[in-house]
Amino acid sequence: MPPELRRHVTVRRHDLRADPPTGAFDLVLSRNVAFTYFAPESQLAVLAKLTGALGRGGALVIGAHERLPEPAPEPEPWPGVRGVFRRVDNGAGQGYACGDSMRLEGSMR
Ligand SMILES: C[S@@+](CC[C@H](N)C(=O)[O-])C[C@H]1O[C@@H](n2cnc3c(N)ncnc32)[C@H](O)[C@@H]1O
């Protein structure tokens, strides 16, 4: 990762089953963890937490071979992009990669 990006990154351990870090995130990356290995009810609980962590227009990106659990009214599919979903009703913010516990501090816009 280039130093100009690295200096905005905070790395922390975080359990997906716990509440996410405070913030309204622009981007949440979740691949090969909750939506592959967790039980359906746990997937729904994690999805609610991750969706709640997104700011308005924020994107949740899942693995190419994953699907969100149902029923999942939010986030909504990003038109024309497989595995990308967006939240349409909230604030704005940062970046949060779960499973790898990476957080980008400051705006990514
Ligand atoms: C199969 S790896 C995927 C890693 C990475 N996301 C990727 O796609 O290459 C699963 C990762 O999920 C992490 N993990 C397992 N349970 C977790 C939990 N409850 N909260 C956060 N991370 C978890 C593991 O430590 C491991 O790093």
* Helix-, strand-, coil-residue percentages of the chain, each rounded to 5: 20, 30, 50
pLDDT of residue 74: 84
Domain assignment present for 11: yes
Tell me whether residue 107 is in a domain: no
CA–centroid distance, residue 36 to ligand 1 (Å):
10
pLDDT value of residue 73: 78
Q: Which residues of the chain have pLDDT under 50?
A: 90-92, 99-109
In a domain, 106, yes or no: no
**100 CB under 6 A from ligand 1?**
yes
Q: Which two tokens stand for residue 35?
A: 């939506």
pLDDT, residue 33, reads 96
pLDDT score, position 58: 94
For atom 6 of ligand 1, the residue with the nearest CA is: 31
Total of domains in the chain:
1
- From the alpha carbon of 16, which atom of ligand 1 is closest? 20
Q: What is the dihedral of CA 94, 63, 14, 69, to 10 degrees?
A: 100
Residue 11 pairs with which residues in a beta bridge?
A: 102
Rounded CA-CA distance 74/85 in Å is: 8
pLDDT at res. 96: 58
Report if residue 81 sits inside a domain.
no
